[in-house]
Amino acid sequence: MGQSNNRRKSCPENRSSAHHMCLFPPAVRAGDTVYISGQVPVGPNGQIVEGGIETQTKQVLENVKAALALAGATMEDVVKTTVWLEDARDFGRMNAVYATYFPKEPPARTTVESRLMIDIKIEVEAIAYAPQK
């Protein structure tokens, strides 16, 4: 019950994004923990980025980074991610890009193959520990 006063959703100023009404906030902070909603490979124009798994992974992780920033956190604060791949055979190529975003002390991670809700190759959600300043 005490956490309800510390719970804050973070919505982008640019409401043209997938989170335009903030009914589906990209980030929610509960005390020192930041929860990032599943991010998909949608670029700044609101469209799914064209390209293979590498391009889509990069866009998804850029979206994770932007969502973290809304809540005052960084990629270095991430302690857990969940990755959904449309095709498990993309794991190696996804992992090569993923590793560039977490070069030291990578977070715990679960990766699963799943039929995704829209025509994309990857979705990533994250949890970060970022004490409030």
- Per domain, the residue ranges of the chain are 2-117
Classify domain 2-117 by CATH architecture: 2-Layer Sandwich (3.30)
pTM of the model: 0.86
For the stretch 1-35, what's the b/e string if a residue is b when 16 or more beta carbons lie within 10 angstroms of its beta carbon?
A: eeeeeeeebbbbeeeebebeeeeebbbbbeeebbb
Q: What is the pLDDT of residues 11-70, one digit of tens each?
A: 655 544 444 445 678 999 999 999 999 999 999 998 999 999 999 999 999 999 999 999
Q: What is the pLDDT of residues 66-114, one digit of tens each?
A: 999 999 999 999 999 999 999 999 999 999 999 999 999 999 999 999 9
- Residues 124 and 81 sit within 8 Å (Cβ to Cβ): yes
